[in-house]
Structure 1
Amino acid sequence: MTRGRCSWAGEDPLMCAYHDEEWGVPERDGRALWGKLMLDGFQAGLAWITVLRKREAFRAGFAGFDPEKVARFDEAEIGQLLADPGIIRSRAKIEATIGGARAWLAMRDAGEDFGDYCWGFVDGEPLQGDGHSVNASTPLSGRVSKDLKTRGFKFVGPTIVHAWMQATGLVNDHSHDCFRRDEVANLG
């Protein structure tokens, strides 16, 4: 007997493992939420599998997504990243990640925890999608996107933000016939 799975996972073993083990699991750690948001920004205009295949190289290139280290990146580090075939070599996205690290630090230094900030948009509990609708963005992701932009984040449009909210469990959008839907709902 085969288990039902969200159709977007397809047949690729890496995508299936990502779906089965990570996607939609509520993430509450502010640094991890930031790192995942930055990875989603690299997806802009590309398929998620492209980013997923390069995720370890991204982690290595961006110092384990440590905002304190990434915020100090200068032209030398940007040059190294632009020369790294293991990542998506977009200067704009690299610079957006550095800027995102600085925005994350500004929030922290102002006493605002990024995890609390993110979860505040859903009152601390994952929103449960209906399991039937597949939206590229929502009014909520539009509000989150707008707020992130006012704080200095880039590559955080409503579609990217919605994908990130789904991936990090702020929204449980597993399909109604997916074996992970109820499992993830119980993690909330």
Structure 2
Amino acid sequence: MKLPIIAYGDPVLRKKALDIPQDYADLEALIANMFDTMYNAHGVGIAAPQIGISLRLFVIDAAPFAEDDIVLKNFRKIFINAQILEETGDKWSFNEGCLSIPDIREDVSRSENLTISYYDENWVHHEESYSGLSARIIQHEYDHIEGKLFTDKLSPLRKAMLKNRLDSISKGYVKVDYKMKFPALKGGNKGGKNRR
């Protein structure tokens, strides 16, 4: 099921998400809905807070980046109760966007490598290391379960320059081809298609 994506400005995007208990009801359906929502919005990752659920869950399918890194061709993963254990290597910049912040893309600097601990959909524990684009995608989605957004990593000047555009997104003044919930609109959900 395709769910509305929560737009910039909603408090759920700023909360540190809670761990998911192993007996969480309908986890399989939630994961399937997150993939459906992500694919419908042409994303490569989505975190539970982006659909209004403050849980430590994100999903990734990085196949669209396979041209840049062949490793990403079959990089489809589910991360439950993830904890980044270490970030190392040189910082490098890459142009990032976010389904919750449509129409804004900015160069963001992140560490080249990471080690992460998480559970998969079968509650099997993993501790893995990633580098390059796979690490970056994980870092971006991980930020969501920590209550952070990629815009937080921009310089104060750049953030100030984007303020009006970010405010417009929270009010629904943005054109997207997927459903969104806008925090500054009464009722929140205006579909996001015809607001500009």
TM, length-normalised to structure 1: 0.30
TM, length-normalised to structure 2: 0.29
**With CA pairs under 8 Å and 6+ residues apart, which has the higher RCO, 1 or 2?**
1
Bigger strand share: 2
Bigger helix share: 1
